[in-house]
Amino acid sequence: MRILVVCLGNICRSPTAEAALREALRDAGLDGQVEVASAGTGDWHLGEPPDARMTRAAAAAGLTLEGTAAQITAEDFRRSDLILVMDRSNLRDVRALAPDEPSRSKVRLYRDFDPDADHDEVPDPYYGGEDGFHAVVDIARRTARGVVEHVRGLLTA
């Protein structure tokens, strides 16, 4: 199984969700069965590492952000079983890129799996203060556990 997490530039929210998902999958003993990757809808940061502020906030919580920014491609729809986006703008943009209805049906909001969600979007911390980055780490981790429970059900079905 392959999960792709997507945000706008692939330097804050989606790399954090990717790291949180890997951690939650590892904790659940499913890391060998599920591949996780991340991408952005835009190309502004291609090849750049995760945002330094996001990296610091994640590290403070024990998460390591890896990789460099990539942009979602048509191939990602074929390769991915589940595409999780961070906000409604990403949802609209990614669904518009999908080549067909089965591909569109793979796209969901990440926070659909957040058991304590008070909102359906992961806020973009890019233009805000340090607290926003720490909030994204908390949301990403909590939601990752919900995603893993969903995935566990798919793998045993």
Q: Is 7 labeled as catalytic in the residue annotation?
A: yes
β-strands 35-40, 82-85: how paired? unpaired
- Going through the chain in order, the beta strands assigned E by DSSP cover 2-7, 35-40, 82-85, 107-109
Among 87, 93, 114, 124, the active-site one is 124
The partner residues of 7 in beta bridges, in order of sequence, read 40
Residue 124: active-site member: yes
Q: Which of 7, 12, 22, 51 is catalytic?
A: 7
Question: Among 12, 13, 51, 53, which one carries the catalytic annotation?
Answer: 13
Q: How many CA atoms lie less than 13 Å away from 122 in the CB half-sphere?
A: 36
CA–CA dist 21, 140 (Å, integer): 8
Residue 7 has which token pair? Answer: 């945000």
Quote the CA–CA distance of 63 and 81 in Å, as a whole number. Answer: 24
Cα separation, 97 vs 84, whole angstroms: 14
Cα separation, 18 vs 46, in Å, equals 17
Enumerate the active-site residues: 7, 13, 124
